[in-house]
Amino acid sequence: MSKIFYPNRDFSKKAKIKNMCEYNEICAEADDNYEAYWDKIAKEKIDWFKPYNKVLDEGNAPFYKWFIGGKLNITHQCIGRHLKNRKNKAAIIWEGEDGSRRIITYLLLYYRVNRLANLLKEKFGIKKGDRVVIYMPMIPEATFAMLACAKIGAIHSVVFGGFSAEALRDRIIDAGAKLVITADGAYRRGNPYLLKPIVDKALEEKCECVENVLMVQRNFEEVNLVQGRDHIYNDIIKNYSEFCKAEEMDSEDPLFLLYTSGSTGKPKGVQHSSAGYILWAQWTMENVFDVKENDTFWCTADVGWITGHTYIVYGPLAMGATTIMYEGVPLYPDAGRWWKMIEELRVNQFYTAPTAIRLLHKVGANEPVKYDLSSLKVLGTVGEPINPDAWMWYYETIGGGKCSIVDTWWQTETGGHIISPLPGATPIKPGAATFPLPGIKAEIIDKDGNPTPKGEKGLLCITKPWPSMIRTIWGDPDRFVKSYFGDCKKNGKPVYFSGDAAIYDEDGYIFITGRTDDVINVSGHRLGTAEIEGVIGHEEHVAEVAVVGRPDDIKGEDVFAYIVTKKDIDEATLIKNINILITKEIGPIAKAGSILIVPGLPKTRSGKIMRRILRTIAKGEKITQDISTIEDSSIVGTIEKIFKEQK
């Protein structure tokens, strides 16, 4: 049985939701009248240009619509409305890896965003509905770019700066982007690196949709500029007005696309809405992180992922909070960097991934004691299950035993938190995401909607629509329906299946156990095994390949590839070739940690690779599964033998 940790009493007294009675009451209110509940908070939280006339339209399920007829602009919610009382408050505190800092007040943010919005409109002719790809390092201009798009109704698609030219190209083409916003480069591990050449490479082929590239100069390294196509932000931004009228957006107008990996095929462009998304970003900031007016909030994610979207940019700014953005890596110049920043900037809420906690625990367990971390009130984790050891270190050493840890479970598709403790209310257990947030019907069920008995693994589903949910997959509505609403039903009606399995413990706490599909989670990054296999398959010596996730102490999971070769090649060369290819076509995050050359793969008679078996072998565990359906079952023993020999 896991130990329970109760919220700090003094903290609870001032918290937004103070105890489990209050939590239960809000849940009951939402259960009693779902639409009235959402109606109440949407009216209370959003500064509408024009009110909506209907809360939820389920007519074309699963293409749900929320707050129909309402008009708003997210930049008014995130900037404009704060100018009255917070114009000189820090909206963004940015720290470069070299220690330089920039403080962007709400007023300054307003001017910066307006200028860029005008530039996009006037110079590049970007209009409502156009797609803009943002491929940027962690600098404030990435945030300005996202918000400038939102101001004029363009749909942004941020591509993580660690993705390769090929991965960037695929996303640009799929989105049909007219403009790419990038930077010359930035700093990482103490050295300058370049991004612009990657954009140039991506645009070499099949990207006719892109008319212009806007480049921010960050490190002033020498880069190539294509005449007529490429423009330097620093040179031209001053020519544009600091005032710009916000486009009136419909509640359901897309705010952004964000590509994420699925179990099959190419990445999916997850499409989010305007009103529902911002409502939930703001509500969760206020209640899950319990952010107060003078708090300083730090989420260490990259803006290229959903966590960065919702909890560096949209959530904190919608709340009128101060958000920290850090350019570099946690180990530069040493493993105390983050703790030093917490001390110096008096961070109150700190949100990071278990992989970073494990890394900092391993390489710098003694660093935190050198710093004053007493400003911290709430600690958060996201992206993967957290092991009890890492949890305890986070709780005791970083939080001093007084901060609740909010283990937030959610996904690119959910827009914001779905299952999470509330820091002033929920008694927490190491490794448990605990309970669904009020108004969210997250349940562990079987395919037919029956609740899973306590202690048994089931499918994690969300059985009612919620405002910040994915609206569709860009350009592929059928895939949207199939990917998320094709597996599970409740009361005969398709419900959203997350792809994760989970367990209720004896007290009804939810523990996430991991993906049920062929998606792996490497350092909190979601990768499709099919995508990696596709790339490895291009290596000339490879006849067949199967990729699975293998548990890893720091990364959570690591890429493990089983390879059948068609030509003789030594293992070291093959590993090198494969990792060069993966880096080129996806990015270094997807590199294979281990490769095993095998004479064949276990397959069913219909030719399907039995990955469960391969996963078990990669973990070094004994096979207990039924192998009678394998066409040539002797291959299992052979692979096990090779695995043991290699170890």
Q: What is the helix (H) or strand (E) element at residue 287, kind and residue range?
A: helix 275-287
Residues 170, 184, 250, 384: which binds ligand PRX (CB under 6 A)? 384
Residue (of 252, 210, 202, 205) closest to 229 by Cα position: 210
User: Which of these segments, 166-174, 328-336, 379-387, 623-631, binds ligand PRX (CB under 6 A)?
Assistant: 379-387
CB of 431 to ligand PRX, least distance (A): 8
Residues 118, 143, 182, 260: which binds ligand PRX (CB under 6 A)? 260
Please report where in the chains the tokens 């827009």 appear, as a residue.
415
563 or 589, CB closer to ligand PRX? 589
Residue (of 504, 429, 422) closest to 460 by Cα position: 504
Taking CB positions, which residue lies at the least distance from ligand PRX? 412
Question: What tokens were used for 61?
Answer: 């399920």
CB of 536 to ligand PRX, least distance (A): 22
Alpha-carbon distance of 48 to 69, in angstroms, equals 11
Question: What tokens were used for 311?
Answer: 């909890």
Q: Is 407 in the site for ligand PRX (CB under 6 A)?
A: yes
DSSP E strands: which ranges in 202-287? 212-216, 230-232, 249-250, 254-260, 268-273
Contact 285, 321 (CB under 8 A): yes
Alpha-carbon distance of 571 to 568, in angstroms, equals 9
Q: Is 410 in the site for ligand PRX (CB under 6 A)?
A: yes
CB of 435 to ligand PRX, least distance (A): 13
Residue (of 309, 518, 328) closest to 413 by Cα position: 309
Alpha-carbon distance of 364 to 300, in angstroms, equals 17
Residues 254, 262, 385, 587: which binds ligand PRX (CB under 6 A)? 385
Contact 240, 122 (CB under 8 A): yes
Cis peptide before 330 (omega within 30 of 0): no
Q: Is 504 in the site for ligand PRX (CB under 6 A)?
A: no
CB of 517 to ligand PRX, least distance (A): 9
Question: What tokens were used for 594?
Answer: 């281990």
User: Which of these segments, 90-98, 402-410, 483-491, 542-550, binds ligand PRX (CB under 6 A)?
Assistant: 402-410
Residues 411, 463, 472, 529: which binds ligand PRX (CB under 6 A)? 411
160 or 643, CB closer to ligand PRX? 160
Q: Is 327 in the site for ligand PRX (CB under 6 A)?
A: no
CB of 355 to ligand PRX, least distance (A): 11
CB of 420 to ligand PRX, least distance (A): 8
515 or 603, CB closer to ligand PRX? 515
Alpha-carbon distance of 528 to 548, in angstroms, equals 10
Residues 521, 523, 565, 616: which binds ligand PRX (CB under 6 A)? 521
Contact track, ligand PRX, 137-156, x by CB under 6 A: --------------------
Half-sphere exposure of 411 (CA within 13 A, CB side): 26
Question: What DSSP assignment string belongs to 65-82?
Answer: EEEET-EE-HHHHHTGGG
253 or 500, CB closer to ligand PRX? 500
Q: Is 306 in the site for ligand PRX (CB under 6 A)?
A: yes
User: Which of these segments, 78-86, 403-411, 446-454, 544-552, binds ligand PRX (CB under 6 A)?
Assistant: 403-411
Q: Is 512 in the site for ligand PRX (CB under 6 A)?
A: yes
User: Which of these segments, 116-124, 127-135, 478-486, 496-504, binds ligand PRX (CB under 6 A)?
Assistant: 496-504
Residue (of 415, 404, 334, 342) closest to 373 by Cα position: 342
Q: What is the DSSP letter of 532?
A: H
CB of 17 to ligand PRX, least distance (A): 19
Count of residues interacting with ligand PRX (CB under 6 A) = 21
Alpha-carbon distance of 225 to 638, in angstroms, equals 54
Q: Is 274 in the site for ligand PRX (CB under 6 A)?
A: no
Tell the burial category of 68 from Cβ atoms under 10 Å away from its Cβ (0-12, 13-18, 19+): middle
CB of 142 to ligand PRX, least distance (A): 18
CB of 409 to ligand PRX, least distance (A): 4
62 or 499, CB closer to ligand PRX? 499
Contact 88, 166 (CB under 8 A): no
Alpha-carbon distance of 474 to 131, in angstroms, equals 11
* Through-space distance between the first and last CA atoms of the chain, rounded to whole angstroms: 34
Residues 80, 336, 364, 383: which binds ligand PRX (CB under 6 A)? 383
Q: Is 222 helix (H, G, I), strand (E, B) or coil?
A: coil
- Go through the chain and tell me how many residues it has: 647
- 328-367 residues near ligand PRX, rule: CB under 6 A: none
Residues 309, 358, 515, 555: which binds ligand PRX (CB under 6 A)? 515
Q: Is 289 in the site for ligand PRX (CB under 6 A)?
A: no
Contacting positions for ligand PRX (CB under 6 A): 260, 306-307, 382-385, 407-412, 433, 498-500, 512, 515, 521, 526
